[in-house]
Chains A and B, each alone.
Chain A
């Protein structure tokens, strides 16, 4: 218990819980290091950390490719919050709006048959995280909340 408490207090500096990077794929490595660090401090296992890191990578890759059409000089804001046993990553961009309901649950069987290349990222996020919630406010911003629960 003591160890866990210490971890939480290390984690609790809100100023350090936000990262803003430009929309270049070159920054994915920076994003992964940031999330790896935060998820480690929260107390996740190695496997869980890797799941969260991959999910955030997929979300940011989608923002770069779709919201910003692969233009590298726009902002992606990543912030980490926690409440009780929930680790929540909020990712905001100011690119093209979209219809969140269009991100239907992917039919992995159909995917295999069609040998499609795109669309794997959302499937991975939904599989690896406990909750994935997209919000898109037209001409303002897009937001995705990725939540992972720490096993009690």
Chain B
């Protein structure tokens, strides 16, 4: 049984990161490692799909805060998509919708990068 894991899909130069399970202080390092690996590979255009994320605590939110500047400095971003209502409420309480672009579905988030290229 794994509490939390990530998986990756590449769509052109956009990387979609899928989060699965419970993201807390114990599992946050898993996401940190995923983001660090992507930075090492010069992949900065991320779409994070939270469809299968069941739970997030501030330790998990902190990982997004830790990497957003790095991605934006390199002409990328962390766009969020498909989060359930409870997870959205936590993001919303902390004012994250002002800091991050949040989409209802993955396709729209991926397309947004295409739009930005022109």
Contacts and interface: CB of A to CB of B under 8 A. Distances in A.
Contact of B61 (A24, A64, A120, A128): A120
Interface string B56-76: 011101100110110000000
Given A32-B55, A115-B99, 19 more contacts: A24-B26, A25-B26, A28-B26, A29-B24, A47-B86, A54-B57, A61-B57, A61-B59, A109-B95, A112-B98, A115-B65, A117-B62, A118-B62, A120-B61, A120-B62, A121-B58, A124-B58, A124-B90, A124-B93
11 contacts: A25-B24, A28-B26, A29-B24, A29-B26, A54-B57, A57-B25, A109-B95, A112-B98, A115-B65, A120-B94, A121-B58
B24 A61 contact: yes
B65 A50 contact: no
Contacts of B66: 117
B40 interface: no
Given A25-B25, A28-B24, A115-B65, A54 B90 contact: yes
Contact of B95 (A28, A29, A65, A108): A108
Size range of the interface on A?
20 to 34
Given A25-B24, A61-B25, A123 B94 contact: yes
Given A50-B86, A115-B69, A124-B93, A26 B98 contact: no
Which applies to chain B's interface (DSSP): helix, strand, loop or mixed? helix
A112 B24 contact: no
A108 B59 CA distance: 16
